[in-house]
């Protein structure tokens, strides 16, 4: 087979990160071990000194974990991946690697709640300041740049409002001011969007979501562009200890094999459901990157190959109407997270973004009446019927 990096995304999802094991296994074996034996004292010393490649201790490296890291790096077009124990472990390790006391961060205001809380409630104690703003407007970002700005952090589409930021335009600004551009690509997956190709320096994933896709793993991934960055991040992760386990790596790697075909079905389903919701008399508004009514529809089409599977909408009747719908649906599961084969529904203000103050939520466009659904791979007609009966039961 020619270089896997030259293959299509459908072939990459099946074959990336697969290596020839000594026994010819067609999937990477699970090396469920904590430590590795050295050939002799000189071999151990050489590994610790970095003169020789090999494995020492699973917190530092493990063959099963490395297979997954290599696979995601191929999909994202990066140099190397770094597996983490959760999406927030990946976010934390990124901030700890790239920032120091006195630095300033510009962050999307539509961002995963714990990322907001980490910056405001934890890193602020270490003299790292941050502004949470509408990053869909590059001119607006420029207004918040200071001589201390070292990192611009984007979620695009943003969670849960689906606000879209122009990655390429923001990358030009970041380079101009000498800041890192970090993009959380969880909502899109590398099947639909490749931020490194658009100028980002670092890409993050909560692999709990689309990459794994089966609701049975909590994991994160950092993807970097070159060896220097990889070694810098690796030192941080080795010390923080937020490493993914071999078994979870195996599960995510298995899930990635169907990522491309899952995303095709999810995007098709989500597009049909978003159109249904937008035409429903009881729906006040819908935010979905695949609808022409989305304010950044053209930007998203330019930088992504599909709309994804997350839809935000508001019902006439606000919070109580949303609660009634969430309690009435039968196929959609009332649960947080997203990106799985099953369809989920939840209320961000009371759930995923409850750690944010109401003032911050409203500033980010997260109203009390906002309902977020993650569309799965079920029969789309049955999903629409489920929403329809839920709306009629109010």
112 is an active site residue: yes
* Given 59, 257, 265, 301, the catalytic residue: 59
Nearest CA to 155 out of 94, 97, 212, 232 is that of 94
19 is an active site residue: no
State the Cα–Cα distance between residues 182 and 322, nearest whole angstrom.
33
Q: Which two tokens stand for residue 93?
A: 């390790």
**Contact 208/62 with Cβ under 8 angstroms?**
no
Can you tell me which residue has the tokens 């200890």?
A: 241
State the Cα–Cα distance between residues 83 and 223, nearest whole angstrom.
9
State the Cα–Cα distance between residues 191 and 197, nearest whole angstrom.
13
* Given 112, 153, 180, 230, the catalytic residue: 112
The maximal CA–CA distance of the chain, rounded, in angstroms, is: 74
* Given 80, 120, 150, 209, the catalytic residue: 209
Ordered alpha helix ranges (H), the chain? 9-15, 41-49, 63-76, 87-98, 113-117, 138-143, 167-177, 189-192, 227-240, 246-256, 259-278, 297-303, 318-328, 358-363, 380-392
**Contact 237/90 with Cβ under 8 angstroms?**
no
Nearest CA to 350 out of 369, 333, 363 is that of 369
- Would residue 114 be called left, alpha or beta, if left means φ above 0 and alpha means ψ between -120 and 50 degrees? alpha
State the Cα–Cα distance between residues 11 and 25, nearest whole angstrom.
18
**Contact 91/204 with Cβ under 8 angstroms?**
yes
* Given 103, 166, 184, 386, the catalytic residue: 184
Active site residues: 59, 112, 184, 209
């Amino acid at each position: 087979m020619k270089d896997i990096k030259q293959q299509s995304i459908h072939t990459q999802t099946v074959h990336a990160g697969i290596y020839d094991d000594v026994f010819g296994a067609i999937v990477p074996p699970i090396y469920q071990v904590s430590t590795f034996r050295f050939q002799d004292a000189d071999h151990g010393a050489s590994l610790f000194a970095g003169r020789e490649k090999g494995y020492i201790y699973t917190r530092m490296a493990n063959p099963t974990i490395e297979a997954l890291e290599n696979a995601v790096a191929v999909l994202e077009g990066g140099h190397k991946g770094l597996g983490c124990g959760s999406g927030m472990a990946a976010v934390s390790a990124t901030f700890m690697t790239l920032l120091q006391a006195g630095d300033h961060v510009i962050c999307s205001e539509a961002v995963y709640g714990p990322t907001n809380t980490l910056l405001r409630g934890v890193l602020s104690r270490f003299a790292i300041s941050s502004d949470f703003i509408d990053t869909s407007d590059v001119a607006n970002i420029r207004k918040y740049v200071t001589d201390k700005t070292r990192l611009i952090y984007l979620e695009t589409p943003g969670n849960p409002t689906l606000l879209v930021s122009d990655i390429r335009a923001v990358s030009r600004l970041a380079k101009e001011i000498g800041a890192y551009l970090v993009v959380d690509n969880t909502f899109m997956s590398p099947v639909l969007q490749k931020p490194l190709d658009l100028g980002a320096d670092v890409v993050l994933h909560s692999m709990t979501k689309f990459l794994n896709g089966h609701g049975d793993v909590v994991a994160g991934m950092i993807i970097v562009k070159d060896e220097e960055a990889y070694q810098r991040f690796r030192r941080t992760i080795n010390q923080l200890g937020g490493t993914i386990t071999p078994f979870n790596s195996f599960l995510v790697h298995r899930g990635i094999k169907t990522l491309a075909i899952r995303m095709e079905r999810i995007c098709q389903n989500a597009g049909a459901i978003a159109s249904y919701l937008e035409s429903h008399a009881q729906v006040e508004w819908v935010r979905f990157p695949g609808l022409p009514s989305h304010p950044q529809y053209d930007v998203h089409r330019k930088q992504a190959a599909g709309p994804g599977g997350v839809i935000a909408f508001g019902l006439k009747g606000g919070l109580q109407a949303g609660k009634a719908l969430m309690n009435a649906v039968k196929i959609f599961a009332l649960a947080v997270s997203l990106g799985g084969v099953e369809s989920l529904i939840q209320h961000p203000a009371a759930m995923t973004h409850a750690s944010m103050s109401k003032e911050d939520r409203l500033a980010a466009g997260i109203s009390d009446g906002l309902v977020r659904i993650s569309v799965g791979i079920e029969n789309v007609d049955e999903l629409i019927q489920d929403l329809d009966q839920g709306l009629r039961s109010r």
